[in-house]
Structure 1
Amino acid sequence: MSVPDAGAAVCTLHDVTVRRAGRALLDGVDLELHAGEVLAVLGPNGAGKSTLLGVLAGDIAADAGEVRFAGRPLADWRLGELSRRRGVLLQDNRTAFPFTVQEVVEMGRAPWRRTDRAVEDAEAVAWALDVADVAHLAERRVPSLSGGERARTAFARVIAGRTGAILLDEPTAALDIGHQEALLSRARELALQGVAVLVVLHDLNLAAAYADRVALLQHGRLAAVGTADEVLTAELVSDVYRTRVEVIPHPVTGQGIIVPVR
């Protein structure tokens, strides 16, 4: 796996704005994703989380501002070249055709065809199947899987590419608690190996547990960026989500736990 230098800015948004139908989905956003970190993007529905990930991935064009990947303007990268440097998991990861899990995960190696890294294909696919806990499903057809099994298969496809950056849009949404913890633990391990990991999440406590930094979006703007302790305060979360919450210390670890006031 080829990874950037630790701490280097891998993905950069500078004063980025995205407008649709006269509405700003992102409004003057500045954000960096660094090698070796897990950056969680949080915010209520419609805050701009998936739009931000789409801009970083190159799937959504910014109307204003600058987007860079590895120091170069994103528009300067050819798609094949970019696919070997970053992997993307979108919310909608449905597979229309009856591929097997093995075949879907093998698709994650497509950018490396006819390169000297193609010799890693079999080992990388086997590793990804194991890491995502879908090796026992390898011969199953994807349409026959549960939502959680499909989500883990999609995650396996992304990590099989062994890129230096991965962008994950709500990867835990369909997962049970055990697989949520397992997936984010794997993301954390990849970051410790130098991979830059951006993950869009709804669960604030998962973000607090696994992210090095969190970016909190509100109406397309960044409300705050920093560590979980700095950003996920009762006052700020209550304001952004329009729901009263309190932050209480975990009885063993002392880490703050966010709970709604009922």
Structure 2
Amino acid sequence: MAARHIGLPTRVAAGTVVYSATGITLERGRRRLLDEVNLEVRAGEVLSLLGPNGAGKSTLLRILSGDLEPDAGTVMFGGRNLKEWSLLDLSRRRSVLLQDNQLLFPFTVHQVVEMGRAPWRRTALEDEDNEAISESIEATDIGHLGSRRVPSLSGGERARTAFARVIAGRTGMLMLDEPTAALDLGHQEAVLTLARERAAEGDAVLIVLHDLNLAAAYSDRIALLREGQLVACGEPSEVLNAETLSEVYRTPVEVIPHPTTGHGIVLPIRSQG
């Protein structure tokens, strides 16, 4: 039976559990990509998913977003089973940037960002379109690219354009799969600063990251995955310790405090000579 449309979203209080995943399991062939993963995502926080290549980070984000269905387990969103939501209602409540997002059609940058406002057509919030689009373009530093066709952009410019489309939706939940992967240092910091600001305003932010130091600096909590299993979940200072990381990443590391912020800095231990 098709999901019933339930209207426009309302804000929830910071700390409210927005997503609840219980027993999430997914197999492909003889390989178990996710193995009974339990996870909560809360409003007002940045939760980062970390782990080695193949740990299941992107797969878990896709399941939470509704893009992929698990073999076992339950995902609750806003107090309802994820399966009960219509695609329109979901698109008004969470914005998703997948890792394999490909912007190859010959749209202009401005047209792509406009697509982020599609869920609000024929609603009262449609009046915010111009403001939301302008803010997103400015925040991602792509104003000078507005009339450029997407196929002509560099990888980093495409990534920033895709991110602008996502934040233009102004939903209460951002789900970002490696949003900093193709970006230079300055734009990496800008993207995660914006994610941090959205969380401070009460949004829930779920990010897949590879950079442990970015995660340490910008996350409220970190979920660490290895071979489809959730190894640890907690504040960065709890999860990002040398013993756990050395085991999970199978390489020796040390964790030292940043001299200014106190955030952990993860460094590989390299032999001399």
TM range (shorter): over 0.9
* Aligned counterpart, 2:195: 187
How far apart in 1 are the matches of 2:169 and 2:145? 19
> Which residue, out of 7, 20, 24, partners 1:12?
20
* Aligned counterpart, 2:60: 52
Is the partner of 2:171 in helix, strand or coil?
Answer: coil
Deviations 1:60-98 (A, max 9, x none): 101111101111000000001110000000112222211
Is the partner of 2:69 in helix, strand or coil?
Answer: coil
The structural deviation recorded for 1:133 is 1.2
Q: Which amino acid aligns with 1:96?
A: L
* Aligned counterpart, 1:128: 136
* Aligned counterpart, 1:215: 223
For structure 2, the 5+ residue unaligned runs are 1-8
* Aligned counterpart, 1:89: 97
Q: How many residues align?
A: 262
1:155 aligned onto 2:163: yes
Contact 1:39–1:212 (8 Å) recurs in 2? yes
* Aligned counterpart, 1:66: 74
Q: Which amino acid aligns with 2:88?
A: G
Percentage of pairs with the same residue: 64
1:40 aligned onto 2:48: yes
TM-score, normalised via structure 2 length: 0.94
Q: Which amino acid aligns with 1:47?
A: A
TM-score, normalised via structure 1 length: 0.98
RMSD: 1.1
How far apart in 2 are the matches of 1:167 and 1:2? 18
For structure 1, the 5+ residue unaligned runs are none
Q: Which amino acid aligns with 2:33?
A: L
> Which residue, out of 222, 247, 260, partners 1:239?
247
How far apart in 1 are the matches of 2:261 and 2:220? 17
1:102 aligned onto 2:118: no
How far apart in 2 are the matches of 1:147 and 1:110? 24
Contact 1:3–1:163 (8 Å) recurs in 2? no
Contact 1:10–1:33 (8 Å) recurs in 2? yes
Q: Which amino acid aligns with 1:84?
A: R
The structural deviation recorded for 1:49 is 0.2
Is the partner of 1:198 in helix, strand or coil?
Answer: strand
Contact 1:3–1:35 (8 Å) recurs in 2? no
Contact 1:2–1:163 (8 Å) recurs in 2? no
The structural deviation recorded for 1:135 is 1.5
How far apart in 2 are the matches of 1:139 and 1:102? 7
How far apart in 2 are the matches of 1:167 and 1:32? 13
